[in-house]
Chains A and B, each alone.
Chain A
Amino acid sequence: MRHIFSETWSGLRRHITMVVAVVVTTFVSLTLFGAGLLVYQQADLLKGRWYDRVEISVFLCTQATAGDNCTPGADITDAEREQVRQTLESNSEVAAVEFETKEQAYAEFQEAFDGSPVQDSLTVDQMQESFRVKLVDPAQFEGVVSAVAGLPGVQAVQDMREYLQPLIGVLQALQIAAMATGGLLLLAAALQIGNTIRMAAVARRREIGIMRLVGAGNLYIMAPFLLESLIAGVLGIALACGAIVAMVLFLTANPQVSLQAGAWIGWPEGIFAMVGVAIVGIVLSIVPTIIATRRYLRV
């Protein structure tokens, strides 16, 4: 055991510049990979909240709203609301209609801006009632929009998909960019680890030859190399996790960011990303080591 540790230590010292290079590459590639995981979860969170649930929102008039079909200073009447509902339900393009009351809208607002300074800036009465409409074919929204847009008591018709698309598009592009860059760097890191370990194995080939000759076990021979790359890998993982913590802190502690979007990632998503980074990091350091040392261990 003592021998394994002293060999590992001397190996780390002998190749200190390569080890630093490996740590840095691992760190950067894992950070990008982790950032990709965060963005991926962010996009999912946004989609999960609205995108798949609702395609068109029909907002109804309140006392505070103004618009072509609203009577100023008055809520939508029960008859008008019923007419909107029937128009929607009888339309063959509509798959499902859900009614959201002011209280529900308020509750959702409270949840979305939990902890934010704007949380208490609105009251229940200021919220709008709405119909949430799911379409049979999301592409065919014009017919439904024009069927209800002119009805009395309808303040506005909003296609949520159109509204969310740019944000989700940006997130998806970010996600792909982060994952692709991270993936390329992960490949570079794997090759670099493999090369470093191969160098270390060449430097120790006399020892390895004698170890094999006197009957040392393969695991025993490999242990210093595995430890060496694991130490470098764990350093890289630790730094990458630090970067992820910094990102999550920035997002959760910055009110300007959390104001702009209700559903924003927090610690659970950060921990998920860190676990992913740790798993990938450990595989990344072990697999190239095993491949690089295999030919020196062939009996």
Chain B
Amino acid sequence: MIRFDDVSKTYDGQRRAALKNVDLEIEKGEFVFLVGQSGSGKSTFLRLVLREYRPTRGRIFVAGREVNRLHNWKIPGLRRQIGTVFQDFRLLPGKTVHENVAFALQVIGRSRKDIRQLVPETLELVGLEGKGDRLPEELSGGEQQRVAIARAFVNRPRILIADEPTGNLDPATSVGIMKLLDRINRTGATVVMATHDSSIVDQMRKRVVQLADGVVVRDQVKGVYGYQ
């Protein structure tokens, strides 16, 4: 589903590479934790998957497309295959829960009929049934992150990318979010999650890819967080 072939990325004006010779393959339906200290290249990895940047060297395949050769006008098509969740939720404050989730479908031109069906379905999946009329500010952090996950998943993408999704949440709430991501993973979606949260990684026992200074230093099936 995601393949990196000898990928390096150096940002303009910087001498140190953010990623160095990364070879990695993530299969369809896998759940992968991306761990490593700040600046180790986790975010760069995720941004390359989203084609926010092109790699300096190497080839990247996402959902069957070679993304570094993708024309700019085909990038929206790629992003419709990928749902994205962030640490800071990124909800629209003036819109209700339902509107926030529906927004993701409206702006890619889905019909109102689809929206009427998919949005309540997805809200139920993330455990927010009955809260569609609330505004984000009326919700707890965990609930807001569920809205963000619903928005990322409402179009049923094949890949879900989560960048520190539990970074702003307390441990008990984080467990709930992880259960939700696990449920989404079980529907067949590939999940890639960058995190600093060692207890979550240790509990979940999923594949762990560790980056340090832009290099993959560990790739472990059913791994643990493994460093302090």
A interface residues (Cβ-Cβ under 8 A, vs B): 3, 206-207, 209-218, 220-221, 299
Contact = CB atoms under 8 A, between A and B. Distances in A.
Contacts of A207: 92, 103
Given A206-B92, A210-B90, A210-B104, A215 B73 contact: no
B107 A214 contact: yes
Interface string B48-83: 001110000000000000000000110111111101
Contact of B79 (A3, A206, A215, A220): A215
Contacts of A209: 90
Interface string B29-54: 00000000000000000000011100
B72 A299 contact: yes
Contacts of B77: 215
A206 B94 CA distance: 11
Contact of A3 (B52, B92, B107): B107
A220 B109 contact: yes
Contact of A214 (B72, B73, B92, B151): B151
Contact of B107 (A206, A216, A299): A216
B106 interface: yes
Contacts of A211: 107
Contacts of B155: 214-215
Nearest to A214: B104
B84 A215 contact: no
28 contacts: A3-B106, A3-B107, A207-B92, A207-B103, A209-B90, A210-B90, A210-B103, A210-B104, A210-B107, A211-B107, A212-B76, A213-B50, A213-B79, A214-B79, A215-B75, A215-B77, A215-B78, A215-B80, A215-B108, A216-B107, A216-B108, A217-B76, A217-B108, A218-B73, A220-B109, A299-B52, A299-B72, A299-B75
Nearest to A3: B106
A209 B107 CA distance: 12
A71 B84 CA distance: 102
A212 B90 contact: no
A217 B73 CA distance: 8
A218 B107 contact: no
**B107, B108, B109, B151 pick with most chain A CB within 10 angstroms:** B107
SS class, residues of chain A in contact with chain B = helix
Interface of B: 50-52, 72-73, 75-81, 83-84, 90, 92, 103-104, 106-109, 151-152, 155
Nearest to B73: A218
B7 to A, nearest CB: 18
B80 A299 contact: no
Contacts of A213: 50, 79, 84
Contacts of A206: 90, 92
**Shortest beta-carbon contacts, A-B, top 6:** A215-B79, A215-B80, A216-B107, A215-B76, A214-B104, A3-B106
Contacts of B108: 214-217
Nearest to B104: A214
B51 A214 contact: no
A212 B152 CA distance: 12
Contacts of B50: 213
Contacts of B104: 210, 214
B106 A212 contact: no
A215 B76 CA distance: 4
Nearest to A299: B75
Contacts of B90: 206, 209-210
B51 A299 contact: yes
A56 B80 CA distance: 77
Contacts of B79: 212-215
A55 B110 CA distance: 72
A222 to B, nearest CB: 12
Given A213-B79, A217-B73, A220-B107, 16 more contacts: A3-B106, A206-B92, A207-B92, A210-B92, A210-B103, A210-B104, A214-B80, A214-B83, A214-B152, A215-B77, A216-B107, A216-B108, A217-B76, A217-B108, A220-B109, A299-B75
Contacts of A221: 107
Nearest to A212: B79
A218 B72 CA distance: 10
A17 to B, nearest CB: 21
A207 B52 CA distance: 17
Contacts of A216: 76, 107-108
Contacts of B152: 214
Nearest to A10: B94
Contacts of B84: 213
A173 B75 CA distance: 54
Contacts of A212: 76, 79
A44 to B, nearest CB: 45
B111 to A, nearest CB: 11
